[in-house]
Amino acid sequence: MNLLSQFVVSLLLLILMLGILRSFIRHGLGSSQVLFWFSLLAGAQILTWFPQLVDRLSLFWGNLLPVSWISFMGLLVLTAYLLYQSTQINSLQSRVVGLVRELSFLEQRLREERVEEDG
């Protein structure tokens, strides 16, 4: 990777970081999501500045081409993030079901009290 391409990739990663920070300030992203994406983008910045590190890591994993190592790591990170999001959605769904049950119970109780007052 030549110096110009390192600069362009680094600039794009910085723009992504600023976009994530802007979304956090506007309350679009939570702090855990910002931390997750910032850590990934910071790691990408380091790998951009030190491309020989990518070569060494790909040889360590047994891959001959750095592109296959980068693709594998991207797939692994995205799969882990999807699993994390699935657990978050599942816990929120359970919470919503509990709240709906409680609301239904309270509405039923309110109706019964109104019937007792009218009768």
Q: What is the pLDDT of residue 96?
A: 96
Beta strand extents in 16-85 (DSSP E only):
none
- Cα–Cα distance measured from residue 82 to residue 93, given in angstroms and rounded to the nearest whole number: 16
- Cα–Cα distance measured from residue 22 to residue 32, given in angstroms and rounded to the nearest whole number: 15
Kindly report the average pLDDT of the chain as a whole number: 85
Q: What is the pLDDT of residue 64?
A: 66
Q: Which of 48, 50, 68, 49 is nearest to 58 (CA)?
A: 68
pLDDT at 119 over 80: no
